[in-house]
Amino acid sequence: MSDPEFSDSEIRDYRERGYIVVPELISRETLAGIDRAIQDLTTRALSQDDYSDVLELEPGSPDDQPAVRRIYQPFVQHESFERLARDPGILDRVEQLIGPDIHLQHSKLNMKPAEVGSVVEWHQDLTYFPHTNDDLVAVLVYLDEATEANGCLRVLPGQHTAFLEHTTDDGAFAGMITEDLSDGRYGIEIALPAPAGSVIFMHCLTPHSSLPNQSGKARRTMIFEYRAADSFPIYLGEMSARNEEFAIQLRGIPATRARLGNIAPLIPRYAGKVSSLYDLQEKTSSSRS
C-alpha cells in the first residue's frame, strides 16, 4: 500500500528529475472497472459509422479486427474514467505539486495493442498546449503491467527546465524533438517499467517517448493532464479551442489572474490540420525520411 501523499524527499526528487513513480497506487478493483468501461466504450463506438470523435485506430487496422490506439477525452466518455481522475490518491498528490486550485486540462487513453502499438517519438507535452506558466503535471496510470517489451514510458531525467527544439527546417511545429538526443548532452534515457495500477507523475516539460509494443500483451495507459488554475492556455486557434472545450475545474477556486512563469512558452506553428500527436509525428517522420 502506498503512502497517502508524497514525502518531502519524493517532492524534491520530482523537482530535480521531472517525474516520480508510485507503484500500484490504483486498486485491482478499480482497474477491473476501467477495463469494463473500455470494452463498453469501444464496442459502442465501433458499432457506429463514424467513431472519429471517440477513438482512433492503428494505421492499417483491418475492418474485421480493428485495433484501437487512442480514446479521446475519456473523462467525458464514461463515469469510470471521471472517478479515476478525481481519485484522492491522485489529486492529493497533484495538489502537492501544483497547489490546491486544480483544473483537468485534458485526458486521453493510449492503448498500445499487442504487437502493433505505435511508437511515440520524443517530445515535451507543453509544446502542444502552451500556457502562461509550467505548473502542469501529466498523470499516467498504467492499466496493465508495463515492460520494456510492451513499450513502457521512457524519460530524460532532469531535462524539464527548458524547451528543446520541436520545429522542422521550415519552422513548422514537428510534434517531436528534432534535436539529436543520441550524443548524451541531455543525459541518458531511462525506461519506467511498473506493475498494473502504478502511476507516474510527470512534469509537462519532461522529455518522454515510448517504443512500439513488441510483446503479445497490450499496454494501456490512462493520461490525465492537470494544471494550476492560474496557468492559462495561450490561444492558438483550433487546437486551443479543442482542448478548452473539455477543461474542467476539479478542486479549489477559479483564478482571476494569470500567473506568468519564468520559462518563455514555445509557440507551435501548425502546418495544416492535425488530428492527434500520432498523426503529426508520423507526418514529420515521413518528411524527414
Distance between CA 32 and CA 161 in Å, rounded? Answer: 37
Identify which has the larger pLDDT, 64 or 73: 73
Per-residue model confidence as pLDDT tens digits over 174-211? 999 999 998 889 999 999 999 999 999 999 999 999 99
d(CA 27, CA 272) in angstroms, rounded, equals 42
- Enter the pTM of the model: 0.93
Secondary structure (DSSP) of 130-192: -BSS--EEEEEEESS-B-TTTT-EEE-TT--SSPPP-B-TTS-B-SS--S--TTSTT---EE-
Q: Enumerate domains of the chain plus CATH numbers.
A: 8-288 (2.60.120.620)
According to DSSP, the residues that pair with 154 across neighbouring strands are 191, 209
Amino acid present at 214: Q
Span 19-47, pLDDT tens digits: 999 999 999 999 999 999 999 999 999 99
